[in-house]
Amino acid sequence: MKSITLFVFGGVSQISKEATLPILELLLAVAGLLSSLVIAGVFYGIYAVLVNTGSIVIAGLIQWLAFIYFMLFLFHFIPGFPLDGGRVLRALLWKVTGDYERATRIASWTGWGIGLLCIVGGILLLIVGRQWFNGLVLAGMGWVLLTAAAQSRRQAVLHEALQSIIAQDLMTKEYPLITPQLSLGQLVRNYIIVTGRRYFVVVDGVKLLGIVTMRNIKSIPKKRWDSTRISEIITPASELKTAHPQQPAASLLEQMDELGIDQMPVLEEDKVIGIVARDSLIHLAKTRAKLGI
């Protein structure tokens, strides 16, 4: 699991790489559900011990934590993707239909619908029932679920649109080669301002030394650009994340999102043969999705 985005009303996990089998997805989702329940049980056990020792204040705090984790368990049990309950639903749909993308779309729409119902229910509690706290909590939970489901649905559409596309199909073979002796000032004046390029391959003859991106350039103050060599700010080849020509485009996008990078060199026999840019991937996916391809 890559990370968990926490909100007031719970968390939404962001898995860096999706499960490759329905059973694996199911096990991961169930494990996520049980973790909150186990933590709630542990806190309740501690509370049961403390309440008998006279530590009323601490026991009250522990009891509150147990209640919160149990409520999180119930929240994530909702069958709306990307909550754990929604991942269980997706795993079951995936198993039945044999179509991962379709299962993701259905589970995401379910999550979006449940989120919308929670928001409407929360508003009704606020206006009709005058239950301000309960209304805000329910509407907040709905908002978290609705936005997360919408994001997951968009990601599923993009990934589906990139099916059958590989790195070789969308990489650009037109990229500037620069030498490590070039100054940063020369790079900006002679390359970036003129061409608008944001990604440069650094070579020594035919040998790949690394890359320089806008992120590297921005790390150096402008007053030092003319005195700083490319060799001083380069991301060395040994640290590069690279793609191979036959790598699926969906996998590339997933990898870029995971690593937080915008470009990736495509290597064949240790030689750079092209560059794949994240914005090109997204643009292609959106275009194909609009055309229904």
Question: 69 or 53: whose pLDDT is higher?
Answer: 69
C-alpha span between 155 and 167 (Å, rounded):
19
Tokens of 2: 């890559």
* Residue tagged 């790390």 (tokens): 219
pLDDT of residue 228: 92
Lowest mean pLDDT among 60-64, 133-137, 157-161: 157-161
Reported as a single tens digit per residue, the pLDDT across 174-209 is 778 888 899 999 999 988 888 888 888 888 877 788
Q: CA-CA distance, 150 to 224, in Å (whole number)?
A: 44
Q: What is the pLDDT of residues 70-104, one digit of tens each?
A: 888 888 888 888 888 888 999 999 999 988 878 88
Write down the pLDDT at residue 119.
Answer: 92
Tell me the average pLDDT across 112-125. Answer: 91
Would you call 200 helix, strand, or coil by DSSP?
A: strand
Domain boundaries, the chain: 3-161, 167-291
pTM of the model: 0.59
Taking each helix axis from N to C terminus, what angle separates 249-259 and 132-161, rounded to the nearest 10 degrees? Answer: 130
Mean pLDDT of 212-240: 88
Burial 143-162 (b: 16+ CB within 10 A, else e): bbbbebbeebbebbbbbbbb
Asked if 281 and 251 count as a contact pair (C-beta separation under 8 A), the reply is no
Task: State which amino acid sits at residue 240.
Answer: L
Q: Report CA-CA distances (Å) from 55 to 50, 51, 78.
A: 6, 6, 35
d(CA 257, CA 262): 8
The dihedral built from the CA positions of residue 58, 61, 67 and 68, taken in this order, carries a sign that is negative
pLDDT given at position 116:
92
pLDDT band per the 50, 70, 90 thresholds, residue 10: very low
Question: How many Å apart are CA 256 and CA 253, to the nearest integer?
Answer: 5
Q: Is 193 helix (H, G, I), strand (E, B) or coil?
A: helix
Q: Report yes or no: 81 and 100 within 8 Å, Cβ to Cβ.
A: no
The pLDDT mean for the chain works out to: 83
Q: Token pair 């559900």 is at which residue?
A: 33
Please report the pLDDT score of residue 277 as a whole number: 84
**CATH match of 167-291 with 3.40.50.150:** no
For residues 101 and 106, what is the distance between their CA atoms, to the nearest angstrom? 9
pLDDT in tens, 95-111: 999 888 788 888 888 98
Place 290 in a pLDDT band, splitting at 50, 70 and 90.
confident
Q: Is 247 exposed, middle or buried (0-12, 13-18, 19+ CB in 10 A)?
A: middle
For residue 130, how many other CB atoms are within 10 A of its CB?
Answer: 9
Sign of the CA dihedral running 155, 158, 161, 165: negative
pLDDT for 229 equals 92
Task: Tally Cβ neighbours within 10 Å of residue 115.
Answer: 24
Residue 293 pLDDT class (50, 70, 90 cuts): low
Predicted local distance difference test score (pLDDT) of residue 13: 47
Angle (nearest 5°) at CA 149 between 147 and 151: 70
pLDDT confidence of residue 6:
42
- Per-range mean pLDDT, top range of 8-12, 89-93, 161-165, 288-292: 89-93
